Structure 1
Amino acid sequence: MPQVEITIGGRNFEVACQDGEEQFLMTAAAMLDVEASSLSTQVGRMPESRMLLMAGLLLADRTAGLEDKVREAEGRLAQAQAQLEQAPTQGTVERVEVPVMPTEVNETMSGIAARVEAMADEVEGRAS
């Protein structure tokens, strides 16, 4: 069983863990260290047990808040899935009408564009 040395709130601890869990332990210890260091900055020096208790409670509070958000997201996901299940199946096709430009409008627009290009060429020729 590996022994891992962790630092929490400026204090070193040796903790045993299962093989392969060292990185998880280090990550959890780093999270606890952030809270403990924050407490030490705000409150000052305190007994080790109180520091660990307070840091653990802060992490538990944050975790509870995240769990609430996960439950909300799961509820919204369930609602969206229910709406998708009630939506019409692929066999239903929505018909959309696309307006068609009459030929004479297209021809008129092409003529206007040609005249504008000719005028632009003429203006550029005078500017040179």
Structure 2
Amino acid sequence: MPEVTIHIGGRGFEVSCQEGEERYLQSAAKMLDDEAQVLAEQIGRMPEARMLLMAGLMLADKTAAIEDRLAGFDAQMAAKDAELAAKDAELQALRAAPAPEPERIEVPVVPPQVNETLAELAARAESLAQSVEEKAIA
């Protein structure tokens, strides 16, 4: 087992850890040291055991606050997952539903008499226009 020297509150401690965990141990020791430095600045010199206890409690308090926030995020994620599952079920139901019946639209048909009448009116209009042109030229 590797032996690592960590520094907390200006004091060195020899600690053993599993192979490959040295980096994590150093990171945890730094967090504890940061809290110990805050205590030293606020309270001053204190016994080693008390300093470690107070720094550990401060870290535990921060950890509890983070765990509370994480639980809140977990609840939000669960609600969003449920909402997403409901939307997915609705989408699947819409995709599985049969297509609606085509709507029948009736288009009025122009009777043949109207076409004949319009053609007759157009011929008369052309005849009148031609006679007006002839009178205008003469």
Above 0.5 in TM-score? yes
Larger Rg: 2
Give 3-state SS (helix, strand or coil) of 1:14's partner. Answer: strand
Corresponding residue for residue 89 of structure 1: 91
Give 3-state SS (helix, strand or coil) of 1:12's partner. Answer: strand
Percent identical pairs in the alignment equals 54
Please tell me the root mean square deviation across aligned C-alpha atoms, in Å. Answer: 1.3
User: Structure 1 regions of 5+ residues with no counterpart?
Assistant: 94-128
Question: Separation in 1 of the partners of 2:92 and 2:43?
Answer: 62
Q: What are the Cα deviations for residues 32-60 of structure 1, in whole angstroms up to 9, with x where unaligned? A: 00000000000000000000000000000
Q: What are the Cα deviations for residues 83-125 of structure 1, in whole angstroms up to 9, with x where unaligned? A: 11111316749xxxxxxxxxxxxxxxxxxxxxxxxxxxxxxxx
Moved over 2 A (4+): 90-93
Question: Separation in 2 of the partners of 1:84 and 1:40?
Answer: 50
Q: What are the equivalent positions in structure 2 for 1:1-128 lying under 5 Å apart?
A: 1-87=1-87, 88-89=90-91, 92=94
Q: What are the Cα deviations for residues 63-85 of structure 1, in whole angstroms up to 9, with x where unaligned? A: 00000000000000000010111
TM-score with structure 2 setting the length: 0.65
Question: Separation in 2 of the partners of 1:70 and 1:6?
Answer: 30
Corresponding residue for residue 117 of structure 2: none
Question: Separation in 1 of the partners of 2:45 and 2:92?
Answer: 66
User: Structure 2 regions of 5+ residues with no counterpart?
Assistant: 96-138
Question: Separation in 1 of the partners of 2:7 and 2:41?
Answer: 16
Question: Separation in 1 of the partners of 2:53 and 2:36?
Answer: 9
Question: Separation in 2 of the partners of 1:90 and 1:7?
Answer: 59
Give 3-state SS (helix, strand or coil) of 2:5's partner. Answer: strand
| Matched pairs, number | 93
